[in-house]
Amino acid sequence: MRDRVALRGLRARGHHGVFDFERREGQDFLVDVVLHLDTAPAAASDDVNDTVHYGLLADRLVAIVEGEPVNLIETLAERLAGECLAEEPVERVEVTVHKPSAPIEHEFADVAVTITRDREEAKGRR
């Protein structure tokens, strides 16, 4: 798929992590998604219904981050990818979850997990 729609730096507060204080206090997570889809139908019709409404998708992704806690950002990324693939025109998605306040005892710039999933792969997991 040659066309992409990207949403980067989506910030939401979640309570994910393996430590009790992470679950209790929460922290900010940043999410990047790159959606692979054919944008030609939307370009031809000039109609948002023929593409991904990234504003509405952002609302759903934030709800996932703010929702049920998980231990691992790998699990969170998988949930986010599933939501992106629920959008009909999306054939493939790359999701990166950043945990900039991860409990690491050393100075660091970022901790992130990136996964790539496609529609066919998602069907096989159901």
> In terms of Cα–Cα distance, which of 40, 60, 51 is closest to 90?
51
Give the span between the Cα atoms of 64 and 13, in whole angstroms.
Answer: 10
- Exposure of 8 in the CB half-sphere (CA atoms within 13 A): 4
Relative to beta strand 27-36, strand 112-118 is unpaired
99 is catalytic: yes
Locate tokens 């109609």: which residue? Answer: 47
Catalytic annotation, pick one of 84, 99, 117, 122: 99
Catalytic site residues?
99
